[in-house]
Amino acid sequence: MTDSDTSFQSISWNDGHLRIIDQTFLPKREVYSDLTTVGQVWDAIKKLRVRGAPAIGIAGAYGLYLGIKDFSMKSFDMFYSESQRIGEYLNSSRPTAVNLSWAINRILKTIYAHKDSSIDELKEIVLNTAITIHEEDRRLCKEIGLNGAELIPKNARILTHCNTGGLATGEFGTAFSIILHAHQAGKVDMVWVDETRPLLQGARLTTWELQKSGIPHTLNIDSAAAFLMQQGKVDLIVTGADRITKNGDTANKIGTYMLAVLAKAHDIPFYVAAPYSTIDMELGSGDLIEIEERDDDEVTAFAGKQTAPKKTHVYNPAFDVTPNHLITAIITEKGVIKPNYNENFEKLFS
C-alpha cells in the first residue's frame, strides 16, 4: 500500500483561489468551497470550516496573498503596512494555534527582505512563499509519521484525540501520520478515537479519515478513556498540538490534559506529534498561552436541538495545556524530542 492510496489533501491552491473541504459538512457530505477573498479565509478559519493548526497556517498564508493581490499603491511602506494589517486581521480569527502567526510572520519577514523589489514582484513572492509553506508541510508531516512509527510496538492499540490527519494539515497529518505509517508497517491492531467535545472532531473527522485509510478503529466517548486504560486496552496515546512552549508545555484540543493525567496514572506513554513550527520559543511556559473560548451554544445545543436550559452559564474553552512532565516525547519532522525540552528545543533551533 502506498502513501497515495491512503492520504489526501483537504486544502489546495487552484487558479488563483483557495479550495478547502468544508469540514462543517463532514462526515455526511464532502463539500468543497472556493475562497477568493481574505474575509472568506478569516471566516473559514473562525468557523472551523478549515481547522487544525498546520492547515490554519497554510490557509492564513494564502489568505494574506488574497488580501494584497489587488493592492494598487506603488510605495513599499504602504504595501508592507497593509500586509501587516491583513496579517493582524487573520491572526484574530483563532489566536491559540501558533502556526497561523508563524506563517504570517514568515511571509512578512520575506516581504521585508525583498523591499527593493517592485510591488508586482512582492505579490508573486508572497504567493510563492505560501505555496512553499504548503509543500513543506506535506513533506514534514510524512517525516513526522515515519519518525513516530518507529516508536509504535507491534499489535498496538492507540488512543488519539481530536483530528490530526489530512483534514488538519497539508497532507498525511501529525499524530494521524504516525498512525497511518505504523498501519502501513503492519503494527496497528486498533485505534481508539475520542469523540472530542464539543464539536466532535474525533467522531466526525478522524473516523472519516480512518475509514478512508482502511485502519481499524473504534469510536469512544471521551469519558470512557480512563476505563479503556483501566481495562488494559490502550498501549499508548498520541495527540497533535496547537502550540508548544519553550519548556514543552503543550496546548491542544480540550480534553488532552485529562488524557495525559490518565496516561501517567496507568503508566502509558503519552506522545505529542507536531511540526517544529508549532514550537513557540517566544513563550516560556504554558500559562502564557492565550486560550480561545467558544460560543455557549456549542455546548447547550446539539444538532440544532436545545440540550440545556436557556441562560445556562457555560465554560467552553477550546483548548487546554498539558504540562511538560506528563509528555513522554514530542515527535517532529526533525526527530523524537525527549525531556529536558528546554535544552533539547534550544539544540533543535540552533
DSSP line for 205-268: IIHHHHHHHT--EEEE-GGGHHHHHHTT--SEEEE--SEEETTS-EEEETTHHHHHHHHHHTT-
Sheet holding 11-14, edge to edge: 11-14, 17-21, 32-35
Residue of 240, 303, 230 lying closest to 268 (CA atoms): 230
Backbone phi, psi, residue 184, to 5°: -65, -25
Rounded-to-integer distance, Cα 350 and Cα 348, Å: 6
Cα 16 → chain centroid: 24
Q: How far is CA 333 from CA 85, 150, 185, 216, 267, in A?
A: 32, 13, 18, 25, 26
Examine the residue annotation and report whether 194 is marked as an active-site residue of this protein: no
Rounded-to-integer distance, Cα 260 and Cα 252, Å: 11
Q: Which of 242, 249, 280, 320 is the catalytic position? A: 242
Angle between helices 98-113 and 53-68 (to 10 degrees): 40
Please, are residues 125 and 110 in contact by the beta-carbon 8 Å criterion? yes
Q: How far is CA 62 from CA 96, 104, 260, 350, in A?
A: 19, 9, 35, 29
Cell of 194: 475520542
Write the single-letter amino acid at 228: L
Question: In the chain, what is the greatest distance between 2 CA atoms, to the nearest angstrom?
Answer: 67
Q: Among all residues, which ones are annotated catalytic? A: 242
